[in-house]
Amino acid sequence: MDIKAPFEKYNILSGVKVDTDEIKKSIEMIKYSGVSYEFRTTYAKLLLNDSDLIKIKHYIGEDAIFKINDFVMSEKVISPEMFT
């Protein structure tokens, strides 16, 4: 499961209004499903920091598999208007 950001930053990073309670429910369902899983976050240093990653790890639990992917900057992906 992809987790884009700490819950308080989710709307900003996703660009839409997100019901984070549904994300929380999904995390819990996956953790207790009995099937193999991993959580992942794309780490965009312009948008996230180390503290954000720690918060996400706290949401999913210390024992969960957590992959951090590096963000690759592209004009097609991100625009300066996002930060104004």
Structure-token pair, residue 77 = 């992906």
19-35 pLDDT, tens digit per residue, is 999 999 999 999 999 99
Question: Could you tell me the pTM of the whole model?
Answer: 0.79
28-75 pLDDT, tens digit per residue, is 999 999 999 999 999 988 889 999 999 999 999 989 999 999 887 766
Q: What phi and psi values does residue 43 have, to the nearest 5 degrees?
A: -90, 100
C-beta of residue 4 within 8 angstroms of C-beta of residue 14? yes
Output DSSP code: residue 9. G
**DSSP secondary structure string, 19-69?**
-HHHHHHHHHHHHTSSS---EEEEE-TTT--HHHHHHHHHHH-TTS-EEEE
